[in-house]
Each structure stands twice: as structure tokens, then as C-alpha cells.
Structure 1
């Protein structure tokens, strides 16, 4: 796959770490290498298991259903408070990856078993997300906006609620609502 090879060949910051993680993952013959969200993603029967990605201070394995994995040592990290399912296993260098090879292999085996059993993550319903005051006011005042918003998929609704709510100032929240008004009316998500 050209995109995957390009990712590994052109990465500069974490090149050696990425390649080491790839080698460990591909030792498990049940996984298929794919390319999703601009990163190498490893799947089992079409279901996402683990993804390799990197940031400024660390590279990581992202286990898509990491919250369901056995993690007695508390190594898996919730990237942000809004991430419900995925968990990261972070690394700062190749030696750290090599020293945790068995741990990585065990997390991968556990993640595959989670898929085989069909385990599902209980996601928080949209009704439990905070609706920013400015957006609630807009929904109350504009029936078209309200109808369009509540006809969006739960994931799209959550995306808007999180994005609007992240703004610290009321003015910024109002600007974001105005900016995405047309997308909501058209039934599109924040990233569509």
C-alpha cells in the first residue's frame, strides 16, 4: 500500500520508532495493515484494532477500544477527557518500545479478543453532553436550526457540542455557532 509505505519512509521525527512499532504489530499475523486518518491502522476482519501516530513529545499506539483492555499497570492513557473509547500507549524512544514489546503484544492480543467477542464500548449519549448557553439560545430561537441539529447523527451532534463548548469566551462560542450554522442546516457534521 503506497500511503503506508510513504508514511514510514517520509516520517522524520519518529521514523525509527514507527518502524519498530510496525515490526512488532506485523508479527501478529491476524492483523491487516491499512491506512486510515492519515496513519497506519491495523485491523482484524475489517475492525480497527490499533493505529500508529505521533506528536511533538511522543509517538503512540492508539487502541480503538482501549478502554476495554486489561491494563493492570495503568499504562494506557486517555488522550483527552472527551475520548470515550480509545486509549494510547506512549513512547519517547526506540529503547522504551523494545523494553515494552511483550506488553505491546499482550495489548494487541487482548484487543483482538475484544473484537472476537464483539465487545462494545458504552458511549455517553448526546443528552449527557453540555449544550453551551449560546447554542441553546440559538436552538430555542431558530426552529430550523433546532430541527436540523436534532436530525444530525449523535456523533455529529457531539462534535458540534464539544467544539462550541471548548471556546472559553461567549463571543467565540457565538462566532463558532454562526460559522457552522449553514452546515448544520444542510445536515453536515463539523468535519464534512
Structure 2
């Protein structure tokens, strides 16, 4: 949804999942969280910290809890948001009838309490940096790029390396290598836009 910059615009332009997402918004606004807009989606924060966001997909809509892996999940409703994600968990809905306000408020309250306690899952900083051959060749062939790569912290370097090495097809690997080259030249980390 290009040109959408606020939660109000997001909800106004919905064609699919409108009733469900408006219901989720109404519930989240009752929790005292502040409604913001990040990554093209309404995001709800407490003391400036991301707690939960709403999302819409083809086959479902839902909530994503930024530190959802820390939630007890007694109702067993949370799903790992995506492969490789340690902290984020999603709660998915296929109809407004599946939305349980009391349950959502309980999960949000627990997430806010965890944030207030300073609990969080962070990236494993001791994970080894394994630079794929394609990236190493590019860096060796371009000393200025190698110097810029070296200026990034280990987490950013690891993000670049894993982005390339996890590509399954050669075409994808080459496209990712080009993207990484551009980001390194600009001094931008792979996930900076999410921070």
C-alpha cells in the first residue's frame, strides 16, 4: 500500500480483513498502548518500545508480538513469525469470530510487563561469522568495499553473510549479493529499516 503513512490511512485502505483488523485495533487501543506506524503497519508501543503490531496476509490477518517467544502462551495460539526468528511470534485469525478480546488483552498485558522488566531476546553475539565465497570474492576484489564491510559490527556482517548464504538458487544468491554490495557502499545494515 504505497503512500500509506499513518494507521488511519492503513485501516481506511483495507479491502481484505477490514472488520478483523479494525476489531484488533479497537482492542489494542483499549490496552493503553500508543498507536504508531512502522514498517507500513500499525504498531503499538509502551514507553517507546515495540510491543505488538497488526498484519494482513492473503490467507489470514493477525498480531505479531515483538518479544512473543517470552510469553507463556498458555492458550497455545502463538506461531513462530518466520523461520530463523527467535523473538517474534504471531497470533493469526481467519475471521472476526476467532478474535478473543480477553485473551488478546492478557497476552498484551504480559508482553507489556515483560518489557517493563527489561526482558528481551537478543541476537546471539557469539555466533560465528561465516562469509560465503561469493561475498569474500567481492570484498577481496574491492578494497574500499572491504574496508566499509569491516566498519560494520559483527551482527551486521553476519546479517549480510547469512542473507547471501541462505539463498537456495544461484540467481537469488547473485541478486542478494548485489543488494548487499549496495547496502555496504551506503553504510546501511541489512535490517536497519526495522530498527
- What is the TM-score with the length of structure 2 in the denominator? 0.83
Q: Contact 1:140–1:146 (CA<8 Å) still a contact in 2?
A: yes
Hey, what's the Cα distance between the residues in 1 that align with 2:118 and 2:173? 39
Alignment of 1:9-158 (within 5 A): 9-29=12-32, 31-97=33-99, 100-125=100-125, 127-128=127-128, 130-140=130-140, 142-154=142-154, 156-158=156-158
Please state if 1:169 is matched with 2:172. no
Q: Distance in 1 between matches of 2:22 and 2:176?
A: 40
Asked if structure 2 preserves the Cα contact closer than 8 Å seen for 1:126 and 1:158, the reply is: no
**Preserved contact between residue 167 and residue 173 of structure 1 (Cα < 8 Å):** yes
Equivalents in 2 of 1:123, 1:187: separation in Å? 20
Residue 135 of structure 1 contacts residue 174 of structure 1 at CA under 8 Å; is this kept in 2? no
Alpha-carbon distance between aligned partners in 1 of 2:154 and 2:63, rounded to the nearest angstrom: 27
Identify if the C-alpha distance between structure 1 residues 181 and 117 changes in structure 2 by more than 3 Å, giving closer, same or farther: same
| Number of matched pairs | 188
Shift of 1:164: 1.3
2-structure distance, mates of 1:179, 1:25 = 36
Residues 80/131 of structure 1: CA separation in 2 closer, same or farther (3 Å cut):
farther
Contact 1:43 1:50 in 2 (8 A): yes
Structure 1 segments of 4 or more deviating over 4 A?
Answer: 140-143
Segment drifting more, 85-94 vs 178-187:
178-187
Pair 154,4 (structure 1): closer, same or farther in 2 beyond 3 Å? farther
SS, match of residue 6 in structure 2: helix
Q: Deviations over 1:45-76 (max 9, x none)?
A: 11111101111111010111111111133321
- Counterparts in 2 of 1:119 and 1:18: CA distance versus 1, 3 Å: same
Contact 1:60 1:88 in 2 (8 A): yes
